[in-house]
Amino acid sequence: GVVATPPASASLLTAQQPVSDPRELLRDALPINNKPIRKIQKEIFTKITEAVRVPNVKMSEVQDAVSSSQKVLAKEKNAILKDVIGEAAKQDAKQTLASIETRLNEFQTIIDTKDKQEIPIKQQEVLRLVEKVENDMVGEFPFKIPQDYASKPLLMGRASLEMKLTCKSSTVTNGGTMKIVLDGFNAPVTCGNFVDLIQRKFYDGMAIQRSDGFVVQSGDPGQKKTGFIDPSTNELRTVPLEIMVQGDKAPIYDSTMDDMGRIKELPVLPFNAFGTLAMARSEFEENSASSQFFFLLKESELTPSGTNVLDGRYSVFGYVTEGKELLKEVKQGDTIEYIKVLSGSENLKNGYDPSKQIPESSETVA
């Protein structure tokens, strides 16, 4: 099929490829505003990713990225440290910056010996350290949750999950695990709902309900329920459409970006990565998501931001960061063995707490 020409608004993006790396999207989505650390992040991610994209690596571009980063570190260390919150974190960040310096010097050796295989490995090492410093810059939760949703389960920060899948009909694998990061800084209500359902073991043992090469979807409990029936109300629990637009201080709720007349703008969590995680909903009801979710099986090369049909219409709330190959093998009827929270459960507010539940079988003795 013919791919439509992107609108003019996308041209500033096509100059360099849209970011499709989930970890970079998550770094970009952190609620911080420190120019020097962002400069290092972009030099090391963007320039080097572009340089290794071509068949014979553009070493001059790699050199440029490393030299620029070394300059920023030499000149602006204090400007980086001043945004790190808390004395202990500042000491920690000092050591991390020293490690970044060491890695950049090692990078120089890789460039001098033209060791192309080592470039992406060293790039990831530096970015992991940059991310560590960036995480230490995040202070209070960045906005107030609207009154209508303030008593719902909320994820006031990030959480890492593990999802175990069993594949029955794949010739490649019988299953495995994926790591997922949920971003409550940009979708606290959506993430809170999901973590709450995970704590209830809602998804454990559930089948994959759709796998068509475009998305992998699950979360429909069947029996005509379509979503999660909250035992405390006996009613379907829903979450609003929730989209943080780049440059905004808080998400927009209840409306698509199209409805808001903001078609040319971009969400902070775009459908750019293979394994982007979002909530399914009824097409004509913005606030109808409950428990059904999907993973997108496309990268942004095929659907640049600003031209894909999903951005700004569905709530994205996380990305698969490890093991996404599994999504290519999963078929309808395969099983989610479990989803569990690896870290970040302390960021869940108003949520289900498994440790506080009374076992159902316990009988009271008169």
Instruction: Report the pLDDT value the prediction gives residue 13, as an integer from 0 to 100.
Output: 40
Report residue 10's pLDDT band, with 50, 70 and 90 as the boundaries: very low
Chain center to CA of 145 = 20
Structure token digits, residue 277: 């995680």
Contact 332, 210 (CB under 8 A): yes
The mean pLDDT value of the chain amounts to 90
Residue 53, pLDDT score: 86
Contacts of 261-266 with CB under 8 Å at 24 or more apart are 262/312, 263/9, 263/312, 264/7, 264/9, 264/306, 265/312, 266/305, 266/306, 266/311
pLDDT tops 60 at residue 6 = no
Count of other CB atoms within 10 angstroms of residue 99: 16
pLDDT tens sequence across 294-336: 999 987 655 555 556 788 899 999 999 999 999 999 999 999 9
pLDDT value at residue 17:
72
- pLDDT, tens digit, 9 for 90 and up, residues 149-191: 999 999 999 999 999 999 999 999 999 999 999 999 999 999 9
3-state DSSP: the chain helix, strand, coil percent, rounded to 5? 35, 20, 50
Task: Identify the CA nearest to 300 among candidates 93, 31, 96, 22.
Answer: 22
Q: Please state, for a pLDDT cut of 90, what percent of the chain lies above it.
A: 80
Q: Is the per-residue pLDDT at 355 higher than 70?
A: yes
Q: Which residues partner with 32 through β-bridges?
A: none
Which of the two residues, 350 and 55, has the higher pLDDT score? Answer: 350
- Does residue 76 surpass a pLDDT of 70? yes
Q: Does the global pTM surpass 0.85?
A: yes
